[in-house]
Amino acid sequence: MKFVCEKNNLLKEITLALDFTSQRNSLSIVSNVLLENYDDKLTIKATDQKIGFSAEIQVKTVEAGSTTVFCDKLLGVLRTLPDGDVQFEEKDMKLVIRPIGQTIDFQLRTIEADKFPQLQIADESKYFSIPQSDFMEMINQTIFAISEDETRYFMNGVFFEHAPDCLTMVATDGRRLSIIRRKMMEQTAQFPSVIIPAKFLNLVKKMGTGEGTFELAVTETMIFARFEGHCIYSTLINGQFPNYKRVIPESQSFSCRVSIQEMLDALKRVSLFVENKSKRLIMDIESTGIMLSSEESDFGAAKEIIPCEYEGEPCKLSLNYTYLLSPLRVMEGDHFFLQFSGPTKAMTVKPDPERDYFHIVMPMQPQSN
Amino acid sequence: MDQEPIFFHVDMDAFFAAVEQRDHPEYRGKCLIVGGTGPRSVASTCSYEARKFGVHSAMPMTQALRLCPQAIVVHGDMAKYHKVSRQIMGIFEQFSPDIVQVSIDEAFLDMTGTRRLYGLPRDAAMLLKRRVKEETQLTISVGIGPSKFIAKLASDYRKPDGLCRVSPGRETEFVDAIGLKKLWGIGKSTLDALARHHVSTTAQLREISLDTLRRLFGQAQGEYLYKVCRGIDPGIYSGEAKSHSISSEQTFPVDIGDEDILSQCLLQMSHEILARSLEEQVMARTVGVKIRFSDFTTISVQKTPTFPLYSAEQVYELAKELLLSKWKPGIPIRLLGVGLYQTYKGDAPMQEELFEDISKKQREIEKVVLKLNSKGREVLKATNMGGYVPSVGKRQKREGGAKGMSPSDVVEDP
């Protein structure tokens, strides 16, 4: 096998491919990247058996063929090479890498291409398109709410659900929940409700440009995405997502309107003194404003009052401040509503004006002692 | 000034068996074994009558019944023992402000500076024994010594219904009188190892330098041996509480490597500590397991789950996971403990949950059981019974014993 290509073209794809290889063991075939070179095309494939990647770039094929090399090392080599055309040639189970017109010579051990696992493919009929901007916004509005506790594996991903006119994403860690229901201009193919691992969604976020469309295919066990010459996939989380609809309050007794920026700034300050383990923030909500405070800790205490629009009775709420911080960070607009019915009931956090997403947050015990 | 340290170690005699004999006159004077009856059960406690036949705690029930076929076997009733234990601990609390309950049937009382109140230590001990007898019809053995270690040895010296005082300055003499074999913390394998070096008495052991002992037995055990043969407290109970914790531990009379038996111990201790946390109305964030191997290497591991700890089953699951992360079935263990750490006041977890948790219901059930029991009814949860294979070995229950380990302890948080 022999081909010539521009270094930066290959570097870009190998950088992406690395995330899909197994990082555990450099001698394993799944730590390698598969290079298939035919008809002036180079197909790059990587998989750790759970997630997979393939991409195609233009090269000059001198001699067709395929092989695999340790992805991490190939990336290291490419990063250090000067810009320009590079010749790749496989000889005696080694990939010889020579930048044209330079006196650099790398030889990378190879493993035969036929040992490389087959990548998964989806039935062509299952694919549907969705604007990249929509899909990435759905990920952004939910992904922070997933659980990182591996014993709650079924919450380690985002629930993805199909309805006739919209797609829904829900994420929860059992204490707070984020949901977005996005209306789709075009009909999407029917698919079963699934739990997409966070890792895959992070990769989509990283690789997507936000422009154009994603071609998605969702089966019972896999999700595929095609875009800009890439095809990536992941196995899904096999488990029962909790019945999220049941925990969304139908209505709330009180509603309080606050500036997103003012709340974010105040949280940044007061959270300095919030106890690290419980992360408990106390909010005293009155018509004159919200007082955010920390409990008295070994270091001291913090308090801040920010304006709000509120007409109910004074109310004291306690909550993990990160449950407010993370959704506000990605919320659009200038103001948000904090809606609640009592100190032990679920609160709703939603933008004003309302959009297609909102968040449910369970409070903490009002008092620790 | 009367400020020389005085510790009492109080041990309830054959506690579970004694309670059963008290409540069932027909068992009195007979060989009684408290324990399960399943094929893999172990004897928990046995009456002194049964001990004459060589039965001891942590012995597989089949073996116990072979030694003492006429024994009456009863299932233990942890809730009842717990209640009686509370009652007795209540009496102790009237004698000393500083009591460390090390297990359901054992406690240390710091009696330093109480002479003006109770007179001579021996008189105070007599009074304590009498009060317990009057209020519960149970006998206790009291050891008095200048350190917890000596007090502990002393309480064991004249059991049952014993009283033994070791005056300051006479520790070495006392250790010699007890003999190497019965010295607390020296098991069969240590004895064998010592015998290979021609050591069979405490006096001979004292002739070996600390460096030599460390080389022969390793850092932890070497230091332990050096101290105990001189009657110096090796610091086994010197736990100063950093934060409030609730734990329970068991030292086995014989080292145990059997996964089933150890699991049963964990389950039982998990139930015990959760019951205590319910009673004290605290929730815990962290579960810890303490393992001491035959060579005295001691490991403590902790885990703080992201979900709230509602039930004994959850505590057990985590404890089991922690045990298996540091131990391979078959390797003998001399001590096993489970603890709840990072506790906070409250009946509910600090963070409310969105979804109903089955464990939350289990906690409610446990609470109801506790309430009924406190009203004098004897209720045992089915899961407790199913899993209940009574106590193996010496149970040591600790209050605030977060650090009650030897200095060689390794604390990890995976």
**Is residue A341 domain-resident?**
yes
Question: Do A174 and A198 fall within a single domain?
Answer: yes
**Is residue A369 domain-resident?**
no
Question: Do A216 and A291 fall within a single domain?
Answer: no
- Closest among A25, A63, A22, A21 to A42, alpha carbons compared: A63
CA–CA dist A44, A189 (Å, integer): 28
Find out whether B242 and B403 touch, Cβ atoms under 8 Å.
yes
Q: Give the pLDDT confidence score for residue B342 in this predicted structure.
A: 83
Question: Do A107 and A23 fall within a single domain?
Answer: yes
Compute CA distances B392 → B61, B317, B395, B396, whole Å: 11, 19, 8, 11
**Is residue A368 domain-resident?**
no
Interface mutation vs chain B, best among A156, A175, A340, most B CBs within 10 Å: A175
Question: Do A42 and A130 fall within a single domain?
Answer: no
Report the mean per-residue pLDDT for chain A: 93
The CA radius of gyration of chain A, in Å to the nearest whole number, is 25
A149-163 tens-digit pLDDT? 887 899 999 999 998
CA–CA dist A156, A48 (Å, integer): 19
Q: Give the pLDDT confidence score for residue B199 in this predicted structure.
A: 87
Higher pLDDT among residues B279 and A354, named by residue:
A354
Tokens 């234990």 -> residue = B85
**Is residue A12 domain-resident?**
yes
Question: Do A234 and A258 fall within a single domain?
Answer: no
Which one of A244, A264, A284 terminates a domain? A244
Question: Do A27 and A51 fall within a single domain?
Answer: yes
> pTM of the predicted model, to two decimals?
0.64
Question: Do A269 and A329 fall within a single domain?
Answer: yes
Question: Do A24 and A82 fall within a single domain?
Answer: yes
Residue of B nearest to A176 (CA): B354
Interface mutation vs chain A, best among B350, B359, B360, B413, most A CBs within 10 Å: B350
Domain boundaries, position A192? 124-244
A-B contacts (CB, under 8 Å): 57
| pLDDT(A341) > 70 | yes
Residue B128 neighbours by CB distance under 10 Å: 23
B295 DSSP assignment: T
CATH number at residue A203: 3.10.150.10
**Is residue A37 domain-resident?**
yes
Q: Which residues, in sequence order, are bridge partners of residue A222? A: A235
Question: Do A150 and A191 fall within a single domain?
Answer: yes
Q: What are the helix (H) ranges across B24-120?
A: 48-51, 61-67, 78-95, 115-118
Q: How many domains does chain A have?
A: 3
CA–CA dist B290, B319 (Å, integer): 9
- Ranges of residues in chain B whose predicted pLDDT is under 70: 1-2, 38-40, 236-243, 347-348, 357, 370-414
Which one of A115, A133, A163 terminates a domain? A115
Residue % of chain A over a pLDDT of 90: 86
Find out whether B32 and B50 touch, Cβ atoms under 8 Å.
yes
Question: Do A240 and A286 fall within a single domain?
Answer: no
CB contact, 8 Å: B307 with chain A?
A: yes
**Is residue A75 domain-resident?**
yes
Find out whether A323 and A176 touch, Cβ atoms under 8 Å.
yes
A233-272 tens-digit pLDDT? 999 999 999 999 999 999 999 999 999 999 999 999 999 9
The ipTM value here is: 0.75
Question: Do A189 and A136 fall within a single domain?
Answer: yes
List, in order, residues 6 or more apart from B291 with CB less than 8 Å away: B298, B299, B300, B301, B323, B326, B327, B333, B335, B336, B337
Which one of A244, A268, A293 terminates a domain? A244
**Is residue A195 domain-resident?**
yes
Tokens of B5: 């340290």
Contact check, Cβ <8 Å, A365/B305: no
Question: Do A138 and A222 fall within a single domain?
Answer: yes
H helix or E strand, kind and range, residue A132? helix A132-140
CB contact, 8 Å: B358 with chain A?
A: no
**Is residue A367 domain-resident?**
no
Q: Give the pLDDT confidence score for residue B374 in this predicted structure.
A: 58
CA–CA dist A338, A281 (Å, integer): 15
- Give the catalytic positions of B in this structure: 106
Q: CA geometry: angle at B255 spanning B254 and B258, to 5°?
A: 115
Identity of the amino acid at A227:
F
Contact check, Cβ <8 Å, B351/A344: no
Q: Give the pLDDT confidence score for residue A344 in this predicted structure.
A: 87
Contact check, Cβ <8 Å, B353/A174: yes
Identity of the amino acid at B261:
I
